[in-house]
């Protein structure tokens, strides 16, 4: 491989320059791979001896793994940069036959394979990067679509082929950087597949994931149904990145293109984040509007319920006032009817007091109106019956007064009315007996009414206790 870089065209560096270059060097077997601008330079290690600053022994596994990580990271930088520049110069959608794109997937495959733990199977040990890629759908739900598409492809028979197909679909979706960042941020899950000093477990993996953002400007289209991804050999072609003796540094136009690309990548990434933020805010606004509408409807229903209950309460108050006024009038009319009427008036006062208590309980327990309404209707029915009985009693008393007046008139006018007086007296006694029986019935009905009021009071207390 030393023949790839002509010795006649490269000047012999001094020891200080060689030492400085060695600090920016990665190792592939016995070759040194150094970054020279945007190109790659390879030299055999036997050509240079580094005397300053003793370095770690090359047999140290950690030292070798660190060099491999740096090597892969530099190769990823060159591959991504070359792919973006060539794709923009080409100016069309890339396909699977495009050489820089093929090399990019080879480099990504090596990055994902670095430090993989070997899994023992019946055929021996197997290393596959498909296992870590399957975790992405658990971290980013959008990746479930490409994972399902990879599993449904009929031509893929090995985990390696499925991993290669997954990388191509993620690049087509322009979400490869997002998926890799989500995967690298969960090192607790990656530790099941990678060694502690693997590229995916170290800082280099995060750097590569950041570099992949630039690939969002590339449009790629792959047809994987007829492509044999299982048997492809992933070999990095260093000839695409080696510097020729006659090559020069990039022109100012390339620098401007790079700056424009960086700005474009930044703007696209910023737009993507802003779009995601806008979508989240819009979802929150929609949820708040739905919640506000629901609360407004509930408030309107509650206001209607309150108005209805207030109207019912006013109606109950009016009915109770009417009943109390009727009872008062009846009590006033019965003041002259003797001791029996006085007792009835006391009972009516008790009934009135009970009605007031019931009315207060109705105001407190307005929410139990439906249960109490039936009891109130029954009570109103009893009151109506009582009023009818009182009206009939009043009529009888009026008849009695008329009979007494007629009797006294006849006694004053004629002595001959003794017999008629006797008959009138008998009639008066009958009426008196009827009145006494009616009064007894009224008293009995009032006692029943008191019992019903007590029962209603007990039921109301039980309902209040249940409500509390």
Rounded to whole angstroms, what are the CA distances from 193 to 113, 150, 186?
10, 20, 12
Please determine, for residue 78, whether its predicted confidence score (pLDDT) is greater than 60. Answer: yes
Do both 233 and 284 map to the same domain? no
Q: Is the pLDDT of residue 41 over 60?
A: no
Q: Which residue has the tokens 């309404």?
A: 373
| Residues 37, 175 share a domain | yes
Q: Are residues 140 and 279 located together in one domain of the fold?
A: no
In whole angstroms, what is the distance from residue 435 CA to residue 398 CA?
Answer: 12
Whether residues 114 and 217 share a domain: the answer is yes
pLDDT tens string 371-391 = 667 877 888 888 888 888 888
Q: Report the distance separating Cα 353 and Cα 86, nearest Å.
A: 100
The phi and psi torsions of 161 (rounded to 5 degrees) equal -60, -40
Q: Residue 208: inside a domain, yes or no?
A: yes
Q: Are 268 and 231 in a shared domain?
A: no
Same domain, 231 and 278: no
Does pLDDT of 22 surpass 60?
A: no
In a domain, 424, yes or no: yes
Determine the average pLDDT of the residues in 154-160.
85
The percent of residues above 90 in pLDDT, for the chain, comes to 3
The mean per-residue pLDDT over the stretch 338-358 comes to 81
- Shortest CA distance to 86 belongs to which of 240, 269, 251? 240
Q: Which pLDDT value is given to residue 347? A: 83
Is pLDDT above 50 for 182? yes
Q: Do residues 273 and 383 both lie within one domain? A: yes
> What's the pTM value of the predicted model, to 2 decimals?
0.44
Total of domains in the chain: 2
CATH code of 221's domain: 1.20.58.900
Check whether residue 183 and residue 309 sit in a common domain. Answer: no
| Inside any domain, residue 252 | no
Tell me what the mean pLDDT of segment 361-369 comes to: 73
Residue 80 pLDDT exceeds 50: yes
**120 pLDDT band (50/70/90 cuts)?**
low
Specify whether 43 is located in the same domain as 93: yes
What pLDDT, on a 0 to 100 scale, did the predictor assign at position 207? 92
Tens of pLDDT, residues 328-343: 776 676 665 667 777 8
In a shared domain, residues 363 and 235: no
Residue 181: which pLDDT band, with cuts at 50, 70 and 90? very high
Residue 422 inside a domain? The answer is yes
* SS3 sequence of 343-402: HHHHHHHHHHHHHHHHHHHHHHCHHHHHHHHHHHHHHHHHHHHHHHHHHHHHHHHHHHHH
pLDDT digits 0-9 by tens, 211-265:
999 888 888 888 777 677 877 776 776 666 654 444 444 455 555 676 677 667 7
Residue 337 placed within a domain: no
**427 and 282 fall within a common domain:** yes
Q: Residue 220 carries which DSSP code?
A: B
DSSP for residue 125:
E
Same domain, 277 and 413: yes
- What pLDDT sits at residue 20? 42
Contact criterion met (CB below 8 Å) for 105 and 168: yes
Read off the pLDDT band of 166 (50, 70, 90): very high
The span from the CA of 165 to the CA of 134, in Å, is: 12
In a domain, residue 442? The reply is no
Q: What is the pLDDT of residue 45?
A: 42
The secondary element (H helix, E strand) that includes residue 60 is: none
Q: What is the pLDDT of residue 97?
A: 80
The answer to the question of residue 9 being in a domain is: no
Which residue range(s) make up the domain with 355? Answer: 264-324+345-434
Residue 53, in any domain of the structure: no
State phi, psi for 213 to the nearest 5 degrees.
Answer: -60, -35
């Amino acid at each position: 491989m030393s023949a790839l870089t002509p010795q006649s065209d490269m000047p012999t560096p001094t020891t200080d320059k060689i030492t400085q270059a060695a600090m920016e060097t990665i190792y592939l077997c016995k070759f040194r791979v150094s970054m020279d601008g945007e190109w790659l330079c390879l030299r055999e290690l036997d050509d240079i001896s580094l005397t300053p600053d003793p370095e770690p022994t090359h047999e140290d596994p950690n030292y070798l793994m660190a060099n491999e990580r740096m090597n892969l990271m530099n190769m990823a930088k060159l591959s991504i940069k070359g792919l973006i520049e060539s794709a923009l110069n080409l100016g069309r959608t890339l396909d699977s036959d495009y050489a820089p794109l093929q090399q990019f997937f080879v480099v990504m495959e090596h990055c994902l394979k670095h430090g993989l733990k070997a899994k023992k199977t019946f055929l021996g040990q197997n290393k596959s990067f498909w296992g870590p890629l399957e975790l992405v759908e658990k971290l980013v739900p959008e990746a479930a679509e490409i994972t399902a598409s990879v599993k449904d492809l009929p031509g893929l028979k090995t985990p390696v082929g499925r991993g290669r197909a997954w990388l191509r679909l993620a690049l087509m979706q322009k979400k490869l950087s997002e998926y890799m960042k989500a995967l690298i941020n969960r090192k607790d899950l990656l530790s099941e597949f990678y060694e502690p000093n693997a590229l995916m477990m170290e800082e280099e993996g995060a750097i590569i994931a950041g570099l992949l953002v630039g690939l969002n400007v590339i449009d790629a289209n792959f047809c994987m149904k007829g492509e044999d991804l299982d048997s492809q050999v992933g070999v990095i072609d260093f000839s695409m990145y080696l510097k020729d003796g006659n090559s020069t540094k990039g022109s100012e136009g390339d620098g401007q293109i790079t700056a424009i690309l960086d700005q474009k990548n930044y703007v696209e990434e910023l737009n993507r984040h802003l779009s995601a933020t806008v979508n989240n805010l819009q979802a929150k606004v929609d949820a708040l509007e739905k919640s506000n509408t629901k609360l407004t409807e509930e408030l309107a229903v509650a206001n209607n319920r309150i108005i209805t209950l207030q109207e019912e309460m006013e109606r109950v108050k009016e009915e109770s006032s009417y009943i109390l006024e009727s009872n008062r009038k009846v009590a006033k009319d019965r003041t002259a009817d003797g001791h029996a009427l006085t007792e009835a008036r006391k009972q009516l006062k008790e009934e009135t007091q009970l009605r007031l208590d019931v009315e207060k309980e109705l105001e407190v327990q307005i929410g139990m109106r439906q249960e109490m309404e039936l009891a109130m209707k029954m009570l109103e029915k009893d009151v109506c019956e009582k009023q009818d009985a009182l009206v009939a009693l009043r009529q009888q008393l009026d008849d009695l007064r008329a009979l007494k007046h007629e009797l006294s008139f006849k006694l004053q006018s004629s002595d001959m009315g003794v017999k008629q007086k006797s008959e009138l007296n008998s009639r008066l006694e009958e009426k008196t007996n009827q009145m006494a029986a009616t009064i007894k019935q009224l008293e009995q009905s009032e006692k029943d009414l008191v019992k019903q009021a007590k029962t209603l009071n007990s039921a109301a207390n039980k309902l209040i206790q249940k409500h509390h």
